[in-house]
Structure 1
């Protein structure tokens, strides 16, 4: 009887894992189809790039220990990782959705302080998009701080939430 129970548990666990993998981009809390389209044609950009709402860029990253962040990242980046900053003009509505193609810590800074996120969604099963974070901000300039990235580039999309 024990073998049957163990086998049944193994089958159920494997089925659950397979279903999660099949979920793909539908695993996000909100649609990421706009990001998919933007990431497919994202132009290369250097750290410090200015992004407009509705744009994406494939940002070249530098070692985190060479970056002068406006405020220290809320999660200390591991040694040997990469990061960058980008600028964005927040529209009067004040809401931004920032999506990333890979693993990274993201802080959005406005008025010299990090702004807490208003929503978060991530999926390891969505090819090309890893996470999407929403922020409620004031209209005006803001800085996106990326850190803890293991790769030398990451795609970033800045959108108004749907």
Structure 2
């Protein structure tokens, strides 16, 4: 009888661990391990900073009503929230993956227009990373607009999709 109880416990424990892993970072539509590693050592940045593909920054956000967005955010930010802008040079491949440590809205503006996202993945149970959004862009300069954050700090990673 002990063997059966211990075996049943081992099966249930294994199932619980698997379910816990599935409810965390593994449930993103694509891997986010690179972002997690970059977030751990992200240097501080202010609104207006230049982002580099393959790196992360730890932004100190400003009150959203004090930010001069190039175009109005696609989702109007609530009063009392925070935001920032950053410049980036899009590589010739044109695909970017922007990941955030917490909830906020991401717009990428290129040639004076907001570019619709090509993919989105978000998980509330992954420590240190909340969402990841993919964009198909033209090579050249672009502006990343962050808005609607309830917190005054936000880590942002910009990578090419795996």
Distance across 1 between alignment mates of 2:93 and 2:141:
13
Number of aligned residue pairs: give it: 147
In the alignment, which residue of structure 1 is the partner of 2:143? Answer: 143
Q: What are structure 2's unaligned runs of at least 5 residues?
A: 1-14
Indicate how the Cα distance of structure 1 residues 135 and 141 shifts in structure 2: closer, same or farther if over 3 A, else same: same
In the TM superposition, what are the counterparts of 1:150-161 in structure 2 within 5 Å? Answer: 150-161=150-161
Large movers: runs of 4+ above 3 Å: 18-22
In the alignment, which residue of structure 1 is the partner of 2:40? Answer: 40
SS across alignment from 1:138: coil
Compute the TM-score of the two structures, normalised by the length of structure 2: 0.87
Say if 1:107 and 1:144, in contact at 8 Å, map to a contact too.
yes
Distance across 1 between alignment mates of 2:77 and 2:21:
28
In the TM superposition, what are the counterparts of 1:120-139 in structure 2 within 5 Å? Answer: 120-139=120-139
Q: Does 1:105 pair with 2:112?
A: no
CA deviation profile, 1:62-114 (whole Å, cap 9, x unmatched): 00101110000010100000000011100000000000000001100000000
In the alignment, which residue of structure 2 is the partner of 1:57? Answer: 57
SS across alignment from 2:59: strand
Distance across 1 between alignment mates of 2:57 and 2:36:
12
* Distance apart, 1:23 and its partner CA: 2.3
Coordinate RMSD, CA, aligned: 1.6
* Distance apart, 1:22 and its partner CA: 5.0
SS across alignment from 2:50: strand
Distance across 2 between alignment mates of 1:129 and 1:101:
4
In the alignment, which residue of structure 1 is the partner of 2:5? Answer: none
* Distance apart, 1:29 and its partner CA: 0.3
In the alignment, which residue of structure 2 is the partner of 1:26? Answer: 26
